[in-house]
Copies of this chain bind each other. A is one copy, B any other.
Amino acid sequence: MDERPIGVFDSGVGGLTVVKALREQLPHESIIYIGDTARVPYGTRSQATIARFAREIAERLLTQNVKALVVACNTISATCLPSIAALSAVPVVGVIEPTIESALRLSSAKHIAVIGTPATIRSAVYERGLQAREPGCRVLSMTTPLLVPIIEEGLKDHPVVALMQETYLSPLKREPHVDVLILGCTHYTLIHERVQSFLGRRIHVLDSARPTAAAVEQMLRAQGLAATRNHATQIYFTSDDPEKSMQIARDFLGADLELRRLELG
């Protein structure tokens, strides 16, 4: 047993959807969260820039005596997980591998679609990961760049979601064999139900939050790192003015929280 906190980070506050799942699944675990709201979004930036920003955050968390790092961001996990693992003495869990495993369990047809930011899709990490485990697996990857700003602007219930779903996801409706859609961005969890109802029952919509929390639980148990005491704490930092992100952070976490400021960059 190990009472040290888990360090969780994201380009912004979307990673709080993963924290929400972690808190439900692992209520004894303390968490330190860093969201780089001063430089969000990462998903439209180049690989080198994302890696530079992400290493800086990982280093900050490592100075806080964390027992593990959770990269609660598809873009960072897709583009630079190995370079974060290389600088970390503690285990590192990303969102991609757990989501790939869940997707393959859910898919009978082994024909899986993925949507994500331009950086995530360009990395082809889902495609390669799915086909490494299931060589015959067919993968349809699509980038949906406007969904992050739509959700960040609090427009998740606005008609713009329907319009952009129509634009981005209509090709999927014409693919008769796809039976799983991976929401390859932690933000998309907030429109999970709208996407599911747009696509209908034939396609199972899967986000990264629960699979990642389950993978963290498994890793902590396997390595004897699980916390057991009953006074878990959560500390949340953002790199831009916390006030600015408060409402959307609450939406992502599904609970109230206090955001503190931490300068990055």
Least CB distance from A244 to B in Å reads 6
Knowing A45-B240, A48-B241, A49-B240, say if A153 contacts B146 (CB, 8 Å): yes
A233 at the A/B interface (Cβ < 8 Å)?
no
Task: Answer yes or no: A46 CB below 8 A from chain B CBs.
Answer: yes
In the bound assembly, the distance between CA atoms of A11 and B110 in angstroms comes to: 43
Task: Give the interface SS of chain A, mostly helix, strand, loop or mixed.
Answer: loop
Q: Kindly identify which residue among B146, B239, B240 contacts A160, using a CB–CB cutoff of 8 Å.
A: B146
Residue from B155, B164, B167, B241 within 8 A of A46 (CB atoms): B241
- Bits for A45-59, please: 1 = Cβ < 8 Å to B, else 0: 110110000000000
Contact A46-B159, Cβ < 8 Å, known A146-B150, A146-B153, A265-B39: no
A158 CB within 8 Å of chain B: yes
Least Cβ distance of A169 to chain B in Å?
Answer: 14
Q: 1/0 per residue A227-245: CB within 8 Å of B?
A: 0000000000001110110
For residue A129, CB closer than 8 A to chain B, the reply is no
A145 within 8 A of B: yes
Is the beta-carbon distance between A160 and B158 smaller than 8 angstroms? no
Q: Mark A156-181, 1 if CB is under 8 A from B, else 0.
A: 00111001100100000000000000
Distance A207 CA – B49 CA, assembled complex (angstroms): 32
In Å, the complex CA distance between A150 and B155 comes to: 14
| Residues of B close to A152: CB separation below 8 A | 44
Interface size on A, residues (CB 8 A): 27
Instruction: Kindly supply a per-residue 1/0 record for chain A positions 243-256, scoring 1 wherever the CB is within 8 Å of any chain B CB and 0 otherwise.
Output: 11000000000000
Question: In the assembled complex, how far is the CB of residue A46 from the closest CB belonging to chain B, in whole angstroms?
Answer: 3
Q: Is A38 an interface residue (CB 8 A)?
A: yes
Q: List 23 A-B pairs, Cβ < 8 Å.
A: A37-B45, A38-B45, A39-B39, A39-B265, A44-B244, A45-B240, A45-B241, A46-B240, A46-B241, A46-B243, A46-B244, A48-B241, A49-B241, A145-B153, A146-B149, A146-B155, A146-B160, A160-B160, A160-B163, A160-B164, A160-B167, A163-B163, A265-B265
Besides the known contacts A38-B49, A39-B39, A46-B241, 5 further A-B residue pairs in the complex with CB atoms under 8 A apart: A38-B39, A45-B241, A146-B150, A146-B153, A159-B163
Question: Contact residues of A with B, CB < 8 Å?
Answer: 37-39, 44-46, 48-49, 145-146, 149-150, 152-153, 155, 158-160, 163-164, 167, 239-241, 243-244, 265
Ordered nearest first, which 7 A-B pairs have the shortest CB separation? Answer: A46-B241, A149-B149, A265-B265, A38-B49, A145-B153, A49-B240, A45-B240
